[in-house]
Amino acid sequence: MADAEEFDFGDNVDTATFEQILDMDDADEDDAHEFSKSIVFGFLDQADSTFAKMETSKYVRPDKSIHVVRTLIHYVLRKDKDLKELSSLGHFLKGSSATLGFTKVKDECEKIQHYGQKKDETGATDEPDEEKCLRLIGQSIAKAKTAYDEVKRLMEQYYAKLEGNA
């Protein structure tokens, strides 16, 4: 729809990619934007749950620890597992956000993916300090969430506008 060009997403959304999605909308149906809407909102849901999962992965739940030593072991093991987990979650969300053209979200997710692999944000050099990685992941999650909230808001506005016009 031409509207995507008029609506200003700022640099949150890569218009070209997003328009591809819009292109896929079936024009002659009653609900003209059914497809793209489903994708977009599906993504939003997916992102919500992914972030939730990231949060649970990130923190050692205090109720699990009974014993100090066990806690430590748990912590160490979990950390490594968590890093991998977080990396894969990051990768996952990166894929879908890239498809939709949500670049800021994608960039943060990519960083999370790299940190989880114990590398620096570009993925080029190693970052052996796990604590640091976890910390950086925490920061990236926060940024990703912010970006995501922004995109969510924009998308809701956009579709409201579209629906309003249609």
Partner 1 sequence: MLLHRIIRSLKSITHPPNVDPPSTSPNTSAEAPETVEAWGSSPPIIIARAQAQAQAPAPTADNPADHNDHAQLEGTSAHFGASPAPHEAALSPSTSRKTSSAHPDPDPHSPSPSPSQASLRESTSPNLSLSHHTPAYEPDEAERPEALTERHINIRTVPGPAPTPILTLVEATLFDDEIEIMQRKIWVKRPGQSATLVAVSDDDLVDTVRDMILRKYANSLGRSIDSPDITLKIASREPGNNHVPADRVLGPDEAIGQTLDSYYPGGQTIDEALMIDVPQRRTPKPSPRIGNHHPAIAYPYYLEDHRPGDGAREYFPPMAVHSPHLAPHPTLGHLPQQNGAHLPHSIGILQTGQVPALPSPGGHSTRKHRDGRPKYVRQHTSSPTIMHSSQPHSNDLKPQLPNGVNPPAPLPTPPAQMDHRPSVTPPNRASSPHTGRSVRKNKTSQRSAKSINGEPPPPKLAPAGLLDGQVPPINVLIVEDNVINLRLLEQFMRRLKVRWKSAMNGREAVNTWRTGGFHLVLMDIQLPVMSGLEATKEIRRLESANGIGLGLVGDQNENRKRTGSHDIDPEDKLHDMNLFKSPVIIVALTASSLQSDRHEALAVGCNDFLTKPVGYPWMSRKVTEWGCMQALIDFDGWRQWKASVEKKDEGLSDEQKKAKEKEEKAKRQAALTAMFSAPPPTTRDRREGENNETGGRSPVNGGPTLPVRGPRRAGGNGTQSVLETHEEEVEE
Interface contacts to partner 1, rule CB under 8 A: 14, 16-17, 19-21, 23-24, 26-29, 34-35, 38-39, 41-43, 45-46, 49-50, 53, 84-85, 88-89, 91-96, 98-101
* 150 Cβ contact partners less than 8 Å away, ≥ 6 residues apart: 12, 104
Output the DSSP codes for 133-159: HHHHHHHHHHHHHHHHHHHHHHHHHHH
Q: Which class for 81: exposed (0-12), middle (13-18), buried (19 or more C-beta within 10 A)?
A: exposed
Give the nearer residue to partner 1 in terms of CB position, either 30 or 67: 30
**Among 56, 51, 33, CA closest to 96:** 51
Shortest Cβ 23–partner 1 spacing (Å): 6
Token pair in block for residue 77 = 């093991």
Give the nearer residue to partner 1 in terms of CB position, either 14 or 150: 14
Shortest Cβ 114–partner 1 spacing (Å): 13
Shortest Cβ 163–partner 1 spacing (Å): 16
Shortest Cβ 80–partner 1 spacing (Å): 12
Give, rounded to a whole angstrom, the gap between the first and last alpha carbons of the chain. 11
Give the nearer residue to partner 1 in terms of CB position, either 68 or 152: 152
Shortest Cβ 30–partner 1 spacing (Å): 9
**Among 134, 125, 94, 126, CA closest to 110:** 94
